[in-house]
Amino acid sequence: MPTRKLAAISNQIEFCMHYHDTSFWVSDLTPDNNPAHRAELHSDLEVDVAIIGAGYTGLWSAYYLKQAKPELSIAIFEAQEVGFGASGRNGGWLMGSIEGQDELLEDLPLEQRRRALQLIYGLIDETQRVCLKEGIDCDLHHGGWLNIAARYPEQLPRLQQSLKHLRHLGHRPEDYQWLDAAQVQERLNIQNPYGGIFTPHTSKSIRWYFHATYRSNTACEIGGRSRKNS
Protein backbone atom coordinates (compact mmCIF):
# COMPACT_ATOMS: atom_id res chain seq x y z
CA MET A 1 0.00 0.00 0.00
CA PRO A 2 1.44 3.45 -0.93
CA THR A 3 2.99 5.37 1.95
CA ARG A 4 0.77 8.40 1.32
CA LYS A 5 -2.37 6.27 1.61
CA LEU A 6 -1.13 4.66 4.83
CA ALA A 7 -0.45 8.10 6.28
CA ALA A 8 -3.96 9.27 5.37
CA ILE A 9 -5.50 6.21 7.01
CA SER A 10 -3.36 6.73 10.11
CA ASN A 11 -4.45 10.38 10.36
CA GLN A 12 -8.10 9.38 9.98
CA ILE A 13 -7.80 6.76 12.73
CA GLU A 14 -6.09 9.27 15.02
CA PHE A 15 -8.85 11.82 14.36
CA CYS A 16 -11.60 9.28 15.07
CA MET A 17 -9.91 8.21 18.31
CA HIS A 18 -9.62 11.83 19.41
CA TYR A 19 -13.25 12.47 18.53
CA HIS A 20 -14.24 9.41 20.50
CA ASP A 21 -12.43 10.71 23.57
CA THR A 22 -13.40 14.37 23.48
CA SER A 23 -16.38 16.22 22.08
CA PHE A 24 -16.09 19.69 20.56
CA TRP A 25 -17.60 21.29 23.65
CA VAL A 26 -14.91 19.98 26.02
CA SER A 27 -11.91 20.11 23.70
CA ASP A 28 -10.60 23.34 25.25
CA LEU A 29 -11.13 22.33 28.89
CA THR A 30 -8.71 20.78 31.35
CA PRO A 31 -9.48 18.57 34.37
CA ASP A 32 -9.03 21.65 36.56
CA ASN A 33 -11.84 23.64 34.92
CA ASN A 34 -14.11 20.74 33.97
CA PRO A 35 -17.19 20.85 36.23
CA ALA A 36 -18.46 17.46 35.09
CA HIS A 37 -15.97 15.23 36.91
CA ARG A 38 -17.64 12.86 39.34
CA ALA A 39 -16.42 10.06 41.60
CA GLU A 40 -16.42 6.53 40.23
CA LEU A 41 -18.49 3.82 41.87
CA HIS A 42 -16.42 1.16 43.64
CA SER A 43 -19.00 -0.41 45.94
CA ASP A 44 -22.69 -1.30 46.14
CA LEU A 45 -25.11 1.60 46.17
CA GLU A 46 -28.78 1.44 47.08
CA VAL A 47 -31.08 4.12 45.65
CA ASP A 48 -34.74 4.57 44.82
CA VAL A 49 -34.02 5.36 41.18
CA ALA A 50 -30.99 4.41 39.10
CA ILE A 51 -30.60 6.24 35.78
CA ILE A 52 -28.27 4.86 33.13
CA GLY A 53 -26.59 7.56 31.07
CA ALA A 54 -25.67 11.16 31.93
CA GLY A 55 -26.82 12.70 28.67
CA TYR A 56 -29.71 15.11 28.38
CA THR A 57 -32.37 12.43 28.91
CA GLY A 58 -30.78 11.13 32.08
CA LEU A 59 -30.01 14.54 33.55
CA TRP A 60 -33.43 16.03 32.87
CA SER A 61 -35.10 12.89 34.20
CA ALA A 62 -33.19 13.18 37.46
CA TYR A 63 -33.99 16.88 37.72
CA TYR A 64 -37.75 16.49 37.26
CA LEU A 65 -37.94 13.42 39.48
CA LYS A 66 -36.37 15.40 42.32
CA GLN A 67 -38.73 18.30 41.65
CA ALA A 68 -41.74 15.98 41.84
CA LYS A 69 -40.46 13.75 44.67
CA PRO A 70 -37.69 15.45 46.66
CA GLU A 71 -37.49 12.49 49.04
CA LEU A 72 -36.25 10.14 46.29
CA SER A 73 -32.63 9.05 46.29
CA ILE A 74 -31.35 9.06 42.70
CA ALA A 75 -28.07 8.00 41.13
CA ILE A 76 -27.00 8.58 37.53
CA PHE A 77 -24.51 6.11 36.10
CA GLU A 78 -22.35 7.08 33.12
CA ALA A 79 -19.79 4.89 31.37
CA GLN A 80 -17.59 7.87 30.48
CA GLU A 81 -18.24 11.53 31.35
CA VAL A 82 -21.35 13.68 31.53
CA GLY A 83 -22.62 14.17 27.98
CA PHE A 84 -19.96 11.96 26.44
CA GLY A 85 -22.25 10.46 23.79
CA ALA A 86 -24.65 11.96 21.28
CA SER A 87 -25.85 14.65 23.72
CA GLY A 88 -22.38 16.16 23.70
CA ARG A 89 -21.75 16.00 19.96
CA ASN A 90 -24.19 18.42 18.42
CA GLY A 91 -24.43 21.90 16.96
CA GLY A 92 -25.92 23.59 20.02
CA TRP A 93 -29.47 23.96 18.69
CA LEU A 94 -32.56 23.75 20.87
CA MET A 95 -35.70 23.14 18.84
CA GLY A 96 -39.36 23.06 19.81
CA SER A 97 -39.90 19.73 18.08
CA ILE A 98 -39.31 16.03 18.60
CA GLU A 99 -38.25 13.41 16.10
CA GLY A 100 -41.22 11.78 14.38
CA GLN A 101 -43.81 14.09 15.93
CA ASP A 102 -45.89 14.41 12.76
CA GLU A 103 -46.25 10.64 12.39
CA LEU A 104 -47.03 10.26 16.08
CA LEU A 105 -49.76 12.92 16.01
CA GLU A 106 -51.27 12.40 12.58
CA ASP A 107 -54.17 10.20 13.78
CA LEU A 108 -55.35 12.75 16.35
CA PRO A 109 -58.17 15.22 15.63
CA LEU A 110 -56.85 18.62 14.55
CA GLU A 111 -57.47 20.42 17.85
CA GLN A 112 -55.78 17.66 19.86
CA ARG A 113 -52.87 17.75 17.43
CA ARG A 114 -52.52 21.49 17.94
CA ARG A 115 -52.62 21.16 21.73
CA ALA A 116 -49.87 18.54 21.53
CA LEU A 117 -47.81 20.79 19.27
CA GLN A 118 -48.13 23.66 21.74
CA LEU A 119 -46.69 21.43 24.46
CA ILE A 120 -43.79 20.51 22.17
CA TYR A 121 -43.16 24.16 21.27
CA GLY A 122 -42.99 24.82 25.02
CA LEU A 123 -39.71 22.90 25.28
CA ILE A 124 -37.78 26.11 24.68
CA ASP A 125 -39.71 28.20 27.19
CA GLU A 126 -39.33 25.46 29.80
CA THR A 127 -35.59 25.24 29.20
CA GLN A 128 -35.30 28.99 29.57
CA ARG A 129 -37.32 28.86 32.79
CA VAL A 130 -35.07 26.20 34.32
CA CYS A 131 -31.88 27.94 33.17
CA LEU A 132 -33.05 31.16 34.80
CA LYS A 133 -34.18 29.43 37.98
CA GLU A 134 -31.00 27.37 38.39
CA GLY A 135 -28.55 30.01 37.15
CA ILE A 136 -27.39 28.02 34.12
CA ASP A 137 -25.43 30.37 31.86
CA CYS A 138 -25.33 28.58 28.49
CA ASP A 139 -25.72 31.58 26.12
CA LEU A 140 -29.25 30.49 25.26
CA HIS A 141 -30.64 32.78 22.56
CA HIS A 142 -34.27 32.37 21.49
CA GLY A 143 -34.03 33.82 17.99
CA GLY A 144 -36.09 31.44 15.86
CA TRP A 145 -35.34 29.62 12.62
CA LEU A 146 -35.50 30.84 9.03
CA ASN A 147 -35.78 28.73 5.87
CA ILE A 148 -35.20 30.86 2.77
CA ALA A 149 -35.61 30.55 -0.99
CA ALA A 150 -32.75 32.70 -2.20
CA ARG A 151 -30.44 31.10 -4.75
CA TYR A 152 -32.85 29.87 -7.38
CA PRO A 153 -36.48 30.80 -8.14
CA GLU A 154 -37.33 27.08 -8.29
CA GLN A 155 -36.91 26.98 -4.53
CA LEU A 156 -39.91 29.26 -3.98
CA PRO A 157 -42.76 26.88 -4.97
CA ARG A 158 -41.07 24.08 -3.02
CA LEU A 159 -40.93 26.23 0.08
CA GLN A 160 -44.54 27.27 -0.36
CA GLN A 161 -45.55 23.61 -0.69
CA SER A 162 -43.62 22.88 2.52
CA LEU A 163 -45.60 25.57 4.33
CA LYS A 164 -48.86 24.15 2.98
CA HIS A 165 -47.88 20.76 4.39
CA LEU A 166 -47.11 22.30 7.78
CA ARG A 167 -50.57 23.87 7.83
CA HIS A 168 -52.10 20.50 7.00
CA LEU A 169 -50.26 18.95 9.97
CA GLY A 170 -51.82 21.48 12.32
CA HIS A 171 -49.11 24.11 12.67
CA ARG A 172 -50.68 27.56 13.02
CA PRO A 173 -49.70 30.67 10.99
CA GLU A 174 -48.02 32.18 14.06
CA ASP A 175 -45.95 29.00 14.48
CA TYR A 176 -44.68 28.95 10.89
CA GLN A 177 -44.94 32.36 9.23
CA TRP A 178 -44.57 33.12 5.55
CA LEU A 179 -42.22 36.02 4.78
CA ASP A 180 -42.13 37.77 1.43
CA ALA A 181 -38.86 38.94 -0.11
CA ALA A 182 -38.88 42.30 1.70
CA GLN A 183 -39.61 40.67 5.07
CA VAL A 184 -36.78 38.21 4.56
CA GLN A 185 -34.46 41.10 3.70
CA GLU A 186 -35.39 42.83 6.96
CA ARG A 187 -34.30 39.80 8.97
CA LEU A 188 -31.30 38.74 6.91
CA ASN A 189 -29.36 40.97 4.53
CA ILE A 190 -28.86 38.68 1.55
CA GLN A 191 -29.10 39.20 -2.18
CA ASN A 192 -32.24 38.37 -4.13
CA PRO A 193 -34.39 36.52 -1.58
CA TYR A 194 -37.66 35.16 -2.98
CA GLY A 195 -39.40 34.38 0.28
CA GLY A 196 -39.05 32.31 3.43
CA ILE A 197 -40.59 30.52 6.39
CA PHE A 198 -39.91 31.71 9.92
CA THR A 199 -40.67 29.86 13.14
CA PRO A 200 -39.99 31.26 16.61
CA HIS A 201 -39.73 27.76 18.06
CA THR A 202 -35.96 27.40 17.83
CA SER A 203 -33.05 28.63 19.92
CA LYS A 204 -29.39 28.73 19.05
CA SER A 205 -25.96 29.44 20.51
CA ILE A 206 -26.59 27.20 23.48
CA ARG A 207 -23.25 26.21 24.94
CA TRP A 208 -24.17 22.58 25.29
CA TYR A 209 -21.39 21.54 27.61
CA PHE A 210 -22.08 24.15 30.27
CA HIS A 211 -25.79 23.45 30.01
CA ALA A 212 -25.31 19.73 30.51
CA THR A 213 -22.70 19.93 33.22
CA TYR A 214 -24.69 22.45 35.19
CA ARG A 215 -27.70 20.19 34.76
CA SER A 216 -25.46 17.53 36.33
CA ASN A 217 -24.38 19.87 39.11
CA THR A 218 -27.97 20.94 39.76
CA ALA A 219 -29.22 17.36 39.82
CA CYS A 220 -26.52 16.50 42.34
CA GLU A 221 -27.10 19.59 44.46
CA ILE A 222 -30.79 18.79 44.86
CA GLY A 223 -30.06 15.28 46.04
CA GLY A 224 -29.01 13.17 43.08
CA ARG A 225 -25.63 11.52 42.59
CA SER A 226 -23.71 11.20 39.32
CA ARG A 227 -21.12 8.45 38.89
CA LYS A 228 -18.76 8.45 35.92
CA ASN A 229 -17.00 5.39 34.45
CA SER A 230 -19.61 3.25 36.21
pTM for the full predicted model: 0.72
- Alpha-carbon gap, residue 62 to 219, rounded angstroms: 6
pLDDT digits (tens, 9 = 90+) for 142-156: 889 999 999 889 999
- Alpha-carbon gap, residue 202 to 123, rounded angstroms: 9
**Taken in order 45, 46, 49, 50, is the CA torsion positive or negative?**
positive
Query: What one-letter code names the amino acid at 88?
Result: G
pLDDT digits (tens, 9 = 90+) for 89-140: 777 788 899 889 989 998 999 999 999 999 999 999 998 898 888 887 777 8
Domains and CATH numbers, the chain: 30-88+208-230 (3.50.50.60), 93-206 (no CATH)
Yes or no: say if 23 and 88 are a contact pair by the CB < 8 Å rule: yes
| Confidence tier at 212 by pLDDT (50, 70, 90) | low
- Alpha-carbon gap, residue 64 to 228, rounded angstroms: 21
Instruction: Decide if pLDDT at 86 tops 90.
Output: no
Which stretches within 27-138 are classed as H helix? Answer: 56-68, 101-105, 110-134
